[in-house]
Amino acid sequence: MADLVRQISQLRNRFNAEVVFVTSGAIAAGRQELRQAGLQLSERDIPSRQALAAIGQGRLIHAYQQMFEIYGVHVAQALLTIDDLAERQPYLNVRNTLAALLDMGVVPILNENDVVAVDEIGEVFGDNDRLSALVANLVDADLLVILTDTDGLYTADPHRNPDATLVPVVDRIDERIQAMVGVHRNPWARGGMPTKIEAARLVTSAGIAMVLCSGRADDAILRAARAAPVGTLFRPAGGKLEARKRWMLNRVKDSRWGEIEVDGGAADALLHRHVSLLPAGVRGVRGDFHRGDIVYIVDEPGRHIACGIANYDAQDISRIRGFQSDGIVAILGYHYGQEIVHRNNLVLI
């Protein structure tokens, strides 16, 4: 843990990198605390494992806080379930919170909320591998590093086949790669190589690179971040912008066909200066869409110039259009940010 903290702090302090840290360990920490107190709790049922997670989560985050303090790095804790990233409103809330923390220079420490996520600690595998891939997409990451107890992806199980060799680079996750992974030997297993490959499939299809390597390799995180050879590199299936553009264009056609009309100045700024869309530049709204929907942005002649994720409902945008951003609260009584569409959630057409 201390070595991982050192590397993350280096990335944060020396290179000004924005790092989100997804970790497990709450159940193990709870188990250790009970043993030190001379107590023991059976782990044969899900409520007992949930109790261990509840006991250990505080111990785990406290340990990380103390370790990061050595390097002057502030951290924040967020406990998530898959459902938090599946429903639109919680998804937006989590994204906005993580963005705010990263803007402040804080390292978010994320963990599966094992106290309530019964599926994740019980009968269904698929733990922080999947969560980390979803979070990587959520924050529009450049790189996902998954640390494990092997050196990366091998051509076969190295524990069973002495001739197995490390695969340094994967350009595409196809049937050949899937055959190397196989299936879980234990149907009750959590994690394992299959879920890591699924995580790689999820992020690379969104234009994000992934490195799978041993967590005990020297400077594994730092080497991965600077593209030095370590573990297995899964190359993205295209540029991030292209992948994000494809995703948004596909989603906008499935949405409520909402449109936000902007004036000439706003259109020029969006096309040439990579800025966010603010209320002052909005002339009108068409369609009935909700916050979080993907909508078209059109210029005065009616041409589609961009699409993006709306921060406000259509009705709210109709009320605040033409006004300065600092007047949103006075008009609506609340606000979800100064932007109608943030530049990070906007692609030009």
Report the alpha-carbon distance of residue 247 to residue 184 in Å, rounded.
Answer: 31
The residue to which tokens 């999947």 are assigned: 130
Range name among 14-18, 178-182, 207-211, 212-216 with the lowest pLDDT average = 178-182
Per this entry, what is the length of the chain? 349
Q: In the prediction, which pLDDT does 251 show?
A: 67
Report the alpha-carbon distance of residue 309 to residue 336 in Å, rounded.
Answer: 13
Q: In the prediction, which pLDDT does 119 show?
A: 53
Q: With beta carbons less than 8 A apart as the criterion, state whether 117 and 101 touch.
A: no
How large is the average pLDDT for residues 121-143?
76
Report the alpha-carbon distance of residue 211 to residue 334 in Å, rounded.
Answer: 41
| Mean pLDDT over the full length of the chain | 87
Report the alpha-carbon distance of residue 315 to residue 152 in Å, rounded.
Answer: 50
Q: In the prediction, which pLDDT does 154 show?
A: 93
* The amino acid at 229: P
Q: Which residue has the higher pLDDT, 59 or 193?
A: 59
| pLDDT of 264 higher than 60 | yes
| pLDDT of 229 higher than 90 | yes
Task: Give the CA distances from residue 114 to residues 66, 110, 191, 231, in Å, rounded to whole numbers and listed in that order.
Answer: 23, 12, 14, 29
| pLDDT of 317 higher than 60 | yes
CATH 3.40.1160.10 segments of the chain: 2-239
How large is the average pLDDT for residues 247-276?
83
Q: Which residue has the higher pLDDT, 268 or 84?
A: 268
Closest by CA to 272, choosing from 306, 239, 241, is: 306
Half-sphere exposure of 107 (CA within 13 A, CB side): 28
Range name among 85-99, 193-207, 294-308 with the lowest pLDDT average = 85-99
Contacts of 307 (CB under 8 A, 6+ apart): 248, 249, 252, 294, 295, 296, 297, 346, 347, 349
pLDDT in tens, 135-151: 998 888 999 999 999 99
Q: In the prediction, which pLDDT does 134 show?
A: 87
CB atoms within 10 A of CB 227: 11
Q: In the prediction, which pLDDT does 315 show?
A: 95
Q: With beta carbons less than 8 A apart as the criterion, state whether 148 and 196 touch.
A: yes
pLDDT in tens, 237-251: 877 766 667 667 766
| pLDDT of 172 higher than 70 | yes
Instruction: Output the 3-class SS for the chain.
Output: CHHHHHHHHHHHHHHCCCCCEECCCHHHHHHHHHHHCCCCCCCCCHHHHHHHHHHHHHHHHHHHHHHHHCCCCCEEEEEECHHHHHCHHHHHHHHHHHHHHHHCCCEEEEEECCCCCHHHHCCCCCCHHHHHHHHHHHCCCCEEEEEECCCCCECCCCCCCCCCCECCEECCCCHHHHHHHCCCCCCCCCCCHHHHHHHHHHHHCCCCEEEEEECCCCCHHHHHHCCCCCCEEECCCCCHHHHHHHHHHHHHHHCCCCEEEECHHHHHHHHHHCCCECHHHEEEEECCCCCCCEEEEECCCCCEEEEEECCCCHHHHHHHCCCCHHHHHHHHCCCCCCCCECHHHEEEC
User: How confident is residue 193, by pLDDT bands cut at 50, 70 and 90?
Assistant: confident
How large is the average pLDDT for residues 270-288?
94
What kind of architecture, by CATH, is found in domain 242-348? Roll (2.30)
- Taking each helix axis from N to C end, the angle separating 193-204 and 128-138, rounded to the nearest 10 degrees, works out to 10
Q: In the prediction, which pLDDT does 180 show?
A: 80
Share of the chain above pLDDT 90, in %: 54
What pTM, to 2 d.p., does this model score? 0.73
Q: In the prediction, which pLDDT does 246 show?
A: 66
Q: With beta carbons less than 8 A apart as the criterion, state whether 234 and 167 touch.
A: no
User: How confident is residue 121, by pLDDT bands cut at 50, 70 and 90?
Assistant: very low
Range name among 16-25, 201-210, 238-247 with the lowest pLDDT average = 238-247
Share of the chain above pLDDT 70, in %: 88
User: How confident is residue 45, by pLDDT bands cut at 50, 70 and 90?
Assistant: confident
What kind of architecture, by CATH, is found in domain 2-239? 3-Layer(aba) Sandwich (3.40)
Q: In the prediction, which pLDDT does 158 show?
A: 83
CATH 2.30.130.10 segments of the chain: 242-348
* Dihedral sign from CA coordinates of 248, 254, 255, 258: positive
Q: In the prediction, which pLDDT does 189 show?
A: 38
pLDDT in tens, 63-112: 999 999 999 999 999 998 877 776 667 877 898 899 999 999 999 999 98
Displacement of CA 172 from its chain's centroid (Å): 21
pLDDT in tens, 151-165: 999 998 888 888 899
Q: In the prediction, which pLDDT does 191 show?
A: 56
Q: In the prediction, which pLDDT does 124 show?
A: 37
